[in-house]
Amino acid sequence: RTCDQLRCTACDFRVSLYNDYKWDQSCDYLFFRNNMPDLNKLRAKMVRKKGSRAYACQCSWRAVDELTDLQTEQQLRWVCGKH
């Protein structure tokens, strides 16, 4: 289970999450910078993968398919937005 209110302290964007998807390997910074949070545009680089979850803000993205502690990835600046 993960926080569904993650916020990026680098770009000040809400982190979006998509169940059963991963990001295509061709994704880059400019893709997310130009297309977040428009799901219709993001779908161009989403790959269906059951059991995965794709996360993205405007400056960072990750796809995970197993229990992962995102706090150990130092380049991510995602924190709980509020509960």
58/14 Cα distance (integer angstroms)? 8
pLDDT digits (tens, 9 = 90+) for 44-83: 999 999 999 999 999 999 998 888 776 677 778 888 877 6
Q: What percent of the chain shows pLDDT beyond 70?
A: 94
In a domain, 39, yes or no: yes
Q: Residue 1 has what pLDDT?
A: 56
Domain count, the chain: 1
N- to C-terminal Cα separation, the chain: 14
In a domain, 16, yes or no: yes
Nearest one of 41, 70, 65 to 53, comparing CA atoms: 65
Which tokens in the block code for residue 54?
């794709």
Residue 41 is part of which domain span? 6-66
Task: Record the pTM.
Answer: 0.86
